[in-house]
Amino acid sequence: MTNTTPLPNDLQAQRDAFHAELQDMSIIPLWLNLGAAAQTEPRVEGVPHIWRWRDIKPMMLRGGALISPQEAERRVLMLINPSFDRKSARTVGMIFGGIQFLMPGETADSHRHSPNAHRFIIEGEGAYTAVEGERTIMRKGDYVTTPAWKWHDHGNDSGQPMAWLDGLDLPFVNLLDANFFEDRAEGDSPQQPIYRQAEDSLHRWGRGMRPTWKEPARTDLSPLLNYRWETCRANLHALRDEVGSPFDGIIMEYTNPLTGRSPLPTISAYLQLLRKGEHTRAHRHTSSTIYHVAEGAGGSLIGGQEYLWEEGDTFVIPSWVAHEHWSTGGEAVLFSYSDRPILKAFGLFREAFAGQEG
């Protein structure tokens, strides 16, 4: 549309009438909407953002005083990307992050849903998650999975409050119009029956072996309930003398032992060590990531803006926004999760970095 000569009034009027009629028919001419179809590069809707633990924690305590457990049902603070509607449940890309608190004596009743979920423990120790007859007592830094449509419940039998970061593919499942939720049946116990020992799934699937007499129904869902902080951190430390990734340092992905792939089909999760003085190279890629600072402090340059972070903070990097990370004053460990498996499943994952092209 290089012709910018004003149209005769008459023609313009006819066009306006024509377009209005089309709109009434739920038809939009491509020539009025080319941008929606043809984009040189993605127009990313989400923006980078950081939520600081020092801000969140006091709000949650205040919430505890203002809202009773019965009213809250679950004390989750949903982290919603500033550029999205609250109903979208989008923290960034296709994933959701929320901070959940569980006070001493509180429980979350057994239920299941088609979205996949996991949690990364921020503070406290002693609450449990139960899935498929096994209960795991959670501790700071643990990565705990509750895959799609598996019954799960939580409870805090300890004397201290616990806080964790909930991760879900909720925006994705909502956009696909495929979100189902089921509460325990009338009369069932609020907590599922426990018929497995502690660490059962670890021995059953996570230690280099598998029982042969019972296959899991779905292999794309990790059968491991808890990826322990001490183990995962030790893995990172064992590889600390490697060069590692130029973009991420010593970064390891949590894996599903049934397939070697991500624990949840839609969400990949990572733990990464930024060594003392390490500053990674910038890159960008078509996947969106939620980061949580598990240990130490540092900063990230995201889309040209600097974000400094410390233990407990949560921040997001949208698709195709350039980013680099560094540690400050020693080592730092970042937990992160991403919608990358969705993009990879369809050949939509791209990565670029300076010096790569040209």
12 residue type, one letter:
Q
Binder of a second copy out of 190, 348, 351, 354 (CB under 8 A): 348
32 residue type, one letter:
L
* Residue 13 touching a second copy (CB under 8 A): no
What's the chain's length in residues?
A: 358
Binder of a second copy out of 238, 276, 281, 351 (CB under 8 A): 238
Asked whether 136 and 144 are in contact (CB, 8 A), the reply is yes
Nearer Cβ to a second copy, position 72 or 297? 72
Nearer Cβ to a second copy, position 182 or 329? 182
Binder of a second copy out of 61, 194, 239, 354 (CB under 8 A): 239
Nearer Cβ to a second copy, position 324 or 328? 324
* Residue 74 touching a second copy (CB under 8 A): yes
Stretch that binds a second copy, among 19-27, 127-135, 154-162, 328-336 (CB under 8 A): 19-27
Residue 329 CB, shortest distance to a second copy, in Å, is: 25
CA angle (72 as vertex; 107, 182 as ends), nearest 5: 65
How far from each other are the two terminal CA atoms of the chain, in whole angstroms?
Answer: 31
Binder of a second copy out of 27, 159, 356, 357 (CB under 8 A): 27
Angstrom distances, CA of residue 319 to CA of 285, 286, 338: 6, 5, 10
Question: Restricting to residues 287-326, which ones interact with a second copy according to CB under 8 A?
Answer: 288, 318-320
C-alpha to C-alpha distance for 203 and 209, rounded to whole angstroms: 8
**Of 99, 129, 239, the residue nearest 192 (C-alpha):** 129
Question: Restricting to residues 78-117, which ones interact with a second copy according to CB under 8 A?
Answer: 78-82, 86-89, 93-94, 98, 111, 113-114
- The single residue listed with the structure tokens 């498929």 is 132
Nearer Cβ to a second copy, position 55 or 188? 55
Binder of a second copy out of 153, 200, 295, 331 (CB under 8 A): 200
CB atoms within 10 A of CB 87: 8
